[in-house]
Structure 1
């Protein structure tokens, strides 16, 4: 059996930070699919396709975070009841939603995930710079996606 005495093991705080981010990424995936299935209105097709891209990124990032958690000896919890209880993202409306309203809700969810990643960044980096690299990637991409989605409802500032 391999000697694991020198293996990095996450602290409780580090574990909680990654768990919170994982939950929000899972929730972002679910919010994205809910919007994808229920949007109606102007620019439907473009937003419908863009939501697929957001969902794919959210799922991939959730998997990356969960696998990083396992690598540092933390058991991720992605159960539905945990996501519902812990996620800080605003609930997505039920039923059909206009593309304009969906743009605002999805943008808020993306910025919410980026905010969580930013809030935990310094603690994570102090304990494990490798994991902070993953946070950099998540922040960069979620903020880019939020900017791209939110541009749908913006008007030029003069």
Structure 2
């Protein structure tokens, strides 16, 4: 029986895509999934820090800050599944454990128990701004490989991170 011919799709540049992983080359899958793995570790780290600060918030505006951080944490957590599943959909791998998160994260943890509300909010503002920049870097990697679906998802996440940073900046600058 003759072997079935694999169909290759032309890209914008006229080159042929590999038939692996939705038509992306092995190099593209490797680079994009590695980028998403770091991004997922950063998002989990920011989620954990946001929840920790939510749990340990004190002070005059406790209720408002507590509710804001809970809302922000839920938004951050909501993208974790999309990031991991996108890497898997492309044919790559994702994080497998807390240790894997620790090895790949670029955002710093904070275990201090003596932070003021303002210090917590300031740190989260900085982390959300950094996450927006890391998302832009990931967008560049995906764009380089013509991964339109992932770049579209990342654009939404950039807007969300910038909005969280903006809310936190407004609070910190007014207090």
Q: TM-score, normalised by structure 2?
A: 0.80
CA RMSD of aligned residues (A): 2.0
Shift of 1:126: 2.4
2: distance between equivalents of 1:107 and 1:96?
18
Shift of 1:89: 0.9
Q: Cα distance 1:122–1:91, how it changes in 2: closer, same or farther (>3 A)?
A: same
Alignment match, 1:72: 90
2: distance between equivalents of 1:16 and 1:78?
13
Alignment match, 2:23: 8
**Unpaired runs of 5+ in structure 2?**
1-5, 7-18
1: distance between equivalents of 2:63 and 2:40?
29
**May I ask how many residue pairs the two structures share in their alignment?**
154
| Conservation of the 8 A alpha-carbon contact between 1:23 and 1:78 | no
Alignment match, 1:44: 62
Deviation string 1:38-87 (CA, Å, 9 cap, x unpaired) is: 11113111111111111111111111111111111112105211222221
1: distance between equivalents of 2:80 and 2:60?
30
Alignment match, 2:46: 28
| Conservation of the 8 A alpha-carbon contact between 2:29 and 2:92 | no
| Conservation of the 8 A alpha-carbon contact between 1:92 and 1:105 | no
**Unpaired runs of 5+ in structure 1?**
none
Give the structure, 1 or 2, with the largest relative contact order (CA under 8 Å, sep 6 or more). Answer: 1
What is the SS of the residue equivalent to 1:66?
helix
Shift of 1:92: 1.7
Q: TM-score, normalised by structure 1?
A: 0.88
- Structure 2 residue 161 is matched with structure 1 residue 142: yes
Moved over 6 A (4+): none
